[in-house]
Chains A and B, each alone.
Chain A
Amino acid sequence: MFKTEEMEINLGPQHPSTHGVLRVKLHLDGETITRCTPMIGYLHRGVEKICENKTFFQGQVWTDRTDYVASVSNNLGWAEGVEKLFGITVPRRAHYIRTMLTELNRITSHLLWLGTHALDIGAMTVFLYAFREREEILSIFEAFCGARLTTTAFRIGGLREDLPPGLEKLVRAFQARFLDCIDEYETLLTENRIWKKRTIGVALLNAEDAIALGVTGPVLRAAGSNYDIRKAFPYASYAEMDFEVATQTAADTYARYLVRLEEMRQAHRIINQCLDGLPEGPVMAKLPKVLKSEVNEVYHAIEAPKGELGYYFVGEKGGQNPYRMHIRAPSFINLQALSKMVVGRLLADVIAAIGTLDVVLGEVDR
């Protein structure tokens, strides 16, 4: 007489908390998820194909536009990948400055994540507090390279220009108050009973599953693994830096929250070391006028805020463009874990899971 049926519901592509144009098809039994399929591609621009038609020098501007909240990290991956392809050695000072800016960028990315994730779970105020600090870092980027979001910060072989006068003061002023700011976010969230209820035990993903799915970054480290490319395969000047890899073992949303907060603290430490130990010298290596590649292939991975960001280049003889270019985008690969995390849980947990994976749709779709 009466029959119950599953409800199919589309979360997105226009939805307040899918962080862009992610569409998640959900099958609901009451409010319990029985099936979850993320559908992507709404922001596909063919960045990889475009980059194959641009020179190595020009290609960097497209990396700004994949993960647009961590563009400095992407620039670093591109620049170092190309340098590896051509065997260019970058001056030490340039490495230090790159490291510093990348860590600042890690903080902006995590702050944006923290703000939006907390907003999704209903805590509105953390969002604005996090953006207050993010704003300050973006001004530092503006002072360094002239743009706040699409930075194009580095050049192949080093940096375009040295640090502008006064930038060190800006960074130090930010450093001086940032730890207190993290404490503020913690006051609002860490011990809060509602926050704990909404995050502890939610969206579990244990280490085996994470490794099997190729998930990297804070999501993996919250499951107990300490895989961090900054330590495992040091690049830039991370080998000279003294920092710890933040790990947790609970593998849930709360653990990922703690890992990211700790990463911000570690980033703060690294920036201080970069500022204190900044070596003198040039910031640009000697380069040939036109870069022409040999038949060669290179994979270079860095620890982007969201996980392992890899750039894969294939060169052809005498080519000014990469013959093939591929981005191993952490957001794209981490997003696979979504269905594993949410099946059998409630609708509200999907929102928490999307937030905790920290996907940026520009990078998922490319």
Chain B
Amino acid sequence: MTPTLTQYLVISLLQIVVVMGFVMTLVPLLTFAERKVIGYVQVRLGATRVAGGLWGAQRGRTHQSRTFTGGLNGFMWWLGRWPVISIFRGLPMFIADALKLLTKEDIVPIEADKAVFVLSPALAMVAAFTVFAAIGFAPGALFYFPAKFPYLGGLPFYGFLTDLNVGLLFILGVASVGVYGIVLGAWASNSKYPLLGGLRSAAQIVSYEVPLTLSLLVPVVLTGSLNFNEMSTRMATDIPVNGLVGIGRTLLMFVGFFVYTTCGFAETNRTPFDLAEAENELVAGFHTEYSGMKFSFFFLSEYASMITVSALASAFFLGGHYLLPFGLQPTWNHFFQNSPSAFLAWTCTPSILWFLLKIFFLLFVFLWVRATVPRYRYDQLMDVGWKFLIPYTLVMFVIAALLRYAA
């Protein structure tokens, strides 16, 4: 049943709301997760309360009587008694964070280039969020509207916005616009520390785009597709893991995954490559002069691009909508496709669940790495990019081509 144009538009709008809503809630949640994960790694608790309480902030209570400020904090204190639930103490923090950023004074330095200064956070944000248009979160339709549903009855509702057959190209193209936001913002601030940060960032992103793309070419060459859904389907069905070629493919994907993640860290300005905003060297790097909403735009775009990088990694290396990564799924399917257990048979089918789980795991790895490793120096970063990663990825690319030829 093909939808009419208006039906199609309505459904598209709904899809946009759902996907963007998902991303927009994931990003603040990610900031909360960052507090918690890094806190736990560092043997402390992270956020457990909100300053003053969101309601019922009380006056004049003393420390000696050991009471709490606000009912919300009292509730969170009570949560702290239970083993697992206590992890979610401090969850209102992400609302408080957003409120704080929204209500802060928005300062534009007198000497700044006003138009560019205002424009560049928007540029970064738009680039980071447009990318989600091409990411296929779900395989096929998420659900069908029930037949009785007014106007839209019987139509499918997809878990993605578009199913571009050049999805990867689109994503890489749009995401690389984001660096203009950083560079222009840094330049427009007319200040020294942002300038240094912006220059670092420009050089870094330009040089890491190359190995990033090259490493993504490995699965592309192996499967012959640029499309999210097709990629994971082919990986799950086309590539049999038997013989030397199959094993070679799996190994190559495995190594490629790590190389890709490394480049992804650099692309998103995360530790160990967070030179552009290295707070111990450049105060806050390119966004030193930004405050309030404009700052939060940069902030959100960084986290959004983390989600993009994780989504790409899980689609292209970790098997996308299927359970097993690195092209191991066909073997699994071979054994369990017709198994009597309904659960095992289900693990052979594509599902949005696997995709999201992989994204969450990778996001966790982002935070985990941030808590563990030091930061590279500017020239060393360039060394790693040009002298290590690019040769590495080129070799991988050649091997991938040979494997493709052999198959």
The stretch of A151-159, A204-212, A347-355 in contact with B is A347-355
> In the assembled complex, which residues on chain A have CB atoms less than 8 Å from the CB atom of B380?
197-198
Residues of B161-198 whose CB lies within 8 A of A: 192-193, 196
Query: Which chain B residues have a beta carbon within 8 Å of chain A's beta carbons?
Result: 38, 41-44, 192-193, 196, 200, 271-272, 274-275, 278-283, 370-380
User: Can you report 24 residue pairs joining A to B where beta carbons are below 8 Å apart?
Assistant: A9-B192, A9-B193, A15-B283, A16-B279, A17-B280, A17-B281, A31-B196, A119-B280, A122-B375, A125-B38, A125-B41, A125-B42, A127-B42, A129-B42, A132-B43, A188-B372, A195-B374, A197-B376, A197-B377, A198-B374, A198-B377, A347-B282, A348-B377, A349-B377
Decide if A122 touches B280 in the complex (CB within 8 Å). Answer: yes
Check B283 against A192 for contact (C-beta < 8 Å). no
Return B203 CB to nearest CB of chain A, in Å: 10
Q: Which residues of A contact B275 (CB under 8 A)?
A: 348
Contacts of B283 in A (CB 8 A): 15-16
- Report yes or no: A125 in contact with B280, Cβ–Cβ below 8 A: no
B-side binding surface: helix, strand, loop or mixed?
A: helix
State the CA gap A313–B38 with chains docked (Å).
49
A15→B279 CA distance, assembly (Å): 9
Roughly how many angstroms separate A15 CA and B282 CA in the complex, as a whole number?
Answer: 9
Indicate whether A170 reaches chain B with its CB closer than 8 angstroms. Answer: no
Say whether A239 faces chain B, with CB atoms less than 8 Å apart. no
A332 to B370, CA, bound (A): 34
- The 8 A-B pairs at the shortest CB distance, nearest first, are namely A122-B375, A128-B42, A122-B374, A123-B374, A17-B280, A348-B377, A121-B374, A120-B280
Report Cα–Cα, A125/B372, bound state, in Å. 6
The answer, yes or no, to whether A213 is at the interface (CB within 8 Å) is no
> Are B271 and A122 in contact (CB-based, < 8 A)?
yes
Assembly CA distance A188 to B41 (angstroms): 12
> In the bound complex, how far is the Cα of B372 from the Cα of A196, in angstroms?
14
- Give chain B residues whose Cβ lies under 8 Å from the Cβ of A9: 192-193
Residues in chain A near residue B43, CB distance under 8 A: 128-129, 132
Given A16-B283, A124-B42, also A194-B374 (CB < 8 A): yes
Q: Is B373 within 8 A of A123, CB to CB?
A: yes
Question: What is the interface of chain A mostly: helix, strand, loop, or mixed?
Answer: helix
- Shortest CB–CB separation between residue B403 and chain A, in angstroms? 29
User: In the complex, A7 Cα to B282 Cα: how many Å?
Assistant: 14
- Chain A residues with CB below 8 A from B379, complex form: 346
Q: Give B377 Cβ to nearest chain A Cβ, in Å.
A: 4
> What is the minimal beta-carbon distance from B8 to any residue of chain A, in angstroms?
49
Are B374 and A118 touching (Cβ within 8 A)? yes
CB distance from A183 to the nearest CB of B (A): 16
Most B CB atoms within 10 A — which of A194, A198, A347, A351?
A194
Closest-by-CB residue of B relative to A193 is: B373
| Interface size in chain A (residues, C-beta < 8 A) | 30
Distance in Å: Cβ of A219 to nearest Cβ of chain B = 20
Q: Which residues of A contact B279 (CB under 8 A)?
A: 16
Q: Decide: A121 and B372 in contact? CB cutoff 8 A.
A: no
Given contacts A121-B280, A348-B278, 16 further A-B contacts (CB under 8 A): A15-B283, A31-B378, A121-B375, A122-B373, A123-B373, A123-B374, A127-B42, A128-B42, A128-B43, A188-B372, A194-B373, A194-B375, A197-B376, A197-B380, A198-B380, A348-B275
Could you tell me which residues of chain A, from 265 to 306, have a CB within 8 Å of some CB in chain B? none
Q: Contacts of A124 on B, CB cut-off 8 Å?
A: 38, 42, 370-371
A346/B38 in contact, CB under 8 A: no
Most B CB within 10 A of own CB, among A132, A189, A197? A197
- The docked-state distance in angstroms from the alpha carbon of A119 to that of B375 is 9
- Evaluate contact between A198 and B376: CB separation under 8 angstroms: yes
Query: In the complex, A31 Cα to B371 Cα: how many Å?
Result: 27
Q: How far is the CA of A16 from the CA of B200 in the complex (A)?
A: 19
Q: Which residues of A contact B372 (CB under 8 A)?
A: 123, 125, 188
A122 touching B371 in the complex, CB below 8 Å, given contacts A128-B44, A198-B377, A347-B196:
no
Indicate whether A346 sits within 8 Å of B370 (C-beta atoms), given known contacts A125-B41, A125-B42, A351-B280: no
In the complex formed, the residue of B with least CB distance to A355 is B280
- Minimal beta-carbon separation of B237 from chain A (angstroms): 39
With the chains together, A240 CA to B376 CA distance in Å?
Answer: 45
Complex interface: chain B residues within 8 A of A347 (CB): 196, 281-282, 378
